[in-house]
Structure 1
């Protein structure tokens, strides 16, 4: 496994920890300034780092929420640019009952900027 892939996997693990801990501030540096996210069920488009942080803060504010975990299956690195594509599975577990509520697949495009890998785009598909 290359150093770039290890870095991306470590950043994904940090993102998962931030979600589990309800720490929107820890999510911000993992996202590119102009990142985009397409949600899995309703295909809502969330644009920009601050837009996404705002959504996460709202998500974390309730007493009951879903704990989302993204599990990387594959990272494909570009040979011509400092970019990569991550593919994996995601799941949302109810924080109060530990019941799996939703799951699916995702793709994330990463870019190395200033020595750090950041997410430029994520697309989620709900399968269950």
Structure 2
């Protein structure tokens, strides 16, 4: 049975959120394309490539005042002509061990199906609070 792109991407996003909560770099790596690009929400810094993103997450995980980020998809639109999809949603960062949001906003992510898996090619974040 084939999983719909919507459900498959929501499950992969849940895996990513869990990996962030558990500071699990090994679980993040297979979710990112080799040349994945991330544009941060506040200063629009560009983190280019899986290796650079894993290094950035490693720094985040080691911070003395760690922030745990999560993303909540609101919509996923799959292409009917290419194995790609766009996810739109809300993100937030909370202090580890707390429910107090420190930052939040909206995001978009472009996914590509490679074999049976969906991987992130690009993400862009907007800080709103």
Normalising by the smaller structure, the TM-score range is over 0.9
| Residue 76 (structure 2) aligns with | 75
Partner of 2:36: 35
Q: By how many angstroms is 1:33 displaced?
A: 0.5
CA drift at 1:63: 3.4
Compare 8-17 and 58-67 and name the one that shifted more: 58-67
Runs of 5+ unmatched residues, structure 2: none
Query: How many residues in Structure 1 have an aligned counterpart in Structure 2?
Result: 127
Q: Which residue of 2 aligns with 1:118?
A: 119
Q: Please give the secondary structure, in 1, of the residue aligned with 2:44.
A: coil
CA distance in 1, matches of 2:20, 2:106: 17
Compute the displacement of 1:97 (Å).
4.0
Is the CA contact (8 Å cut-off) linking 1:82 and 1:111 kept in structure 2?
Answer: yes
User: In structure 1, how many angstroms separate the alpha carbons of the residues matched to 2:104 and 2:116?
Assistant: 32
- Detail structure 1 runs of 4+ shifted over 3 Å in the superposition: none
Query: Which runs of 5 or more structure 1 residues have no equivalent in the other structure?
Result: none
SS at match of 1:34: strand
Deviations 1:66-122 (A, max 9, x none): 110100000000010000000000000011443210000000000001221000000
Name 1:50's counterpart in structure 2.
51
In structure 2, how many angstroms separate the alpha carbons of the residues matched to 1:52 and 1:65?
A: 17
C-alpha RMSD of the superposition: 1.0
